[in-house]
Structure 1
Amino acid sequence: MNGPSSSPISISRIHHVAYRCNDAKETADFYQNLLGMKFTTAFAEDHVPSTGEYDPYMHIFLEMGGGNVIAFFELPNQPKMGKDPNTPAWVQHIAFEVSDVEALLAAKAHIETQGVEVIGPTFHGIFRSIYFFDPNGHRLELACNIGNAEQYAELHRVAPLMLDEWSQTKKAPRHADWLHKDPEE
């Protein structure tokens, strides 16, 4: 990069993450009723503020605590939502944290009573998680951390080694195979 020297950006947190939805009301109801989020804000415009183009939308915001916000856009004049056919459904997802395994299992039971299919809990070494889809087809994950300080330190130590090896071979490095051995099995 050329040009005048400047300081790196100092980001304090994610302000919000936005996704598209099929129906703003259905989406707000799902996130409120199923996941206990608080519907806080709605913006509706006929013209996009950043570009000025005509594209009516409803933009909703849901807060999940700790300053964490997820937002959605309903775009009735755009073609129907689609997925990238070259990306498997399990790849792009939104992961939310719950306090512990007990809360994870309670969440699974609650979600299933609402008729939503849930996968898991799945063991990931330093966390366990469950997976399901929202009404828009977005894959969601609820995860609870179960790792200890030594495990996190080891993962931090091997991360650059694993990335370098992956970059050269495009094969899964084995530095953290211990992550896949579930002590409960």
Structure 2
Amino acid sequence: MKGNTENPLALKSLNHISIVCRSVEESIDFYKNILGFVPVRRPGSFDFNGAWLFSYGIGIHLLQSEDPEKLPKKSEINPKDNHISFQCESMDAVEKKLKDMEIEWVRQRVEEGGIYVDQLFFHDPDGFMIEICNCDNLPVVPLAGEMPRSCSRHNIQMMQSQHQHIHV
């Protein structure tokens, strides 16, 4: 494939994720009141039930299932399942809020080179996994000279420092 191999499709950012729901109304309530998303206008030309929400620079598109009873029911929280992850300011505050809201969660801790990342996993009303983490603690370290397109200010500073050491 010819062209820019670093960004062959000239992508700019993540736009949205879509989630098929048993009840769009229940899912709106969850994403609005638990995760802080805001409902936004959805094109009127759609001929099926759904909703669009937006926050944190991304959209969540909720799609009403045509056969809600056939959607798999997930009860076990498995951190290795498909999920979307959000960074937070305080893991303790998130854990307290989840407890207050009686939302079941699983907590994990990952360690890499003395740096610790805490993760909380829980389900939305349809069993889609949500992760809340302090992942910005963990540097984004490119493999074999690759450069990520976006990361936290801490990671950019660390990579610039590493890059300067390489070319000295």
Which TM class, normalised by the smaller chain length? 0.5 to 0.7
Please say if residues 23 and 64 of structure 2, whose CA atoms lie closer than 8 Å, have aligned partners that are also in contact.
yes
Rg larger in 1 or in 2? 1
What secondary structure sits across from 1:11 in the alignment?
coil
1:135 is the counterpart of 2:135: no
Structure 1: 5+ residue stretches without partners:
47-56, 161-185
Alpha-carbon spacing, 1:6–1:146, altered in 2? closer, same or farther (3 Å): closer
Please say if residues 49 and 64 of structure 2, whose CA atoms lie closer than 8 Å, have aligned partners that are also in contact.
yes
Deviant stretches of 4+, over 2 Å: 5-8, 41-46, 75-80, 145-149
For residues 136 and 14 of structure 2, what CA distance do their matches in structure 1 show?
24
Superposed displacement of residue 135, structure 1: 0.7
Q: Which residue of 2 aligns with 1:105?
A: 92
Structure 2: 5+ residue stretches without partners:
147-168
For residues 38 and 129 of structure 1, what CA distance do their matches in structure 2 show?
24
**Structure-to-structure mapping, 1:1-185, within 5 angstroms:** 5=2, 8-43=8-43, 45-46=46-47, 57-65=48-56, 67-77=57-67, 80-82=70-72, 90-99=80-89, 103-120=90-107, 122-125=108-111, 127-145=117-135, 147=137, 149=139, 152-153=140-141, 156-157=142-143
Q: Pairwise CA RMSD of aligned residues?
A: 3.0
For residues 139 and 111 of structure 1, what CA distance do their matches in structure 2 show?
14
Alpha-carbon spacing, 1:148–1:115, altered in 2? closer, same or farther (3 Å): closer
TM-score, normalisation: structure 2: 0.67
Identity across matched positions, percent: 21
Please say if residues 90 and 139 of structure 1, whose CA atoms lie closer than 8 Å, have aligned partners that are also in contact.
no
Aligned pairs, how many?
Answer: 135
Cα deviation code 1:128-161 (max 9, x no counterpart):
2101111101111101125365xx43xx348x9x
Alpha-carbon spacing, 1:97–1:105, altered in 2? closer, same or farther (3 Å): same
TM-score, normalisation: structure 1: 0.61
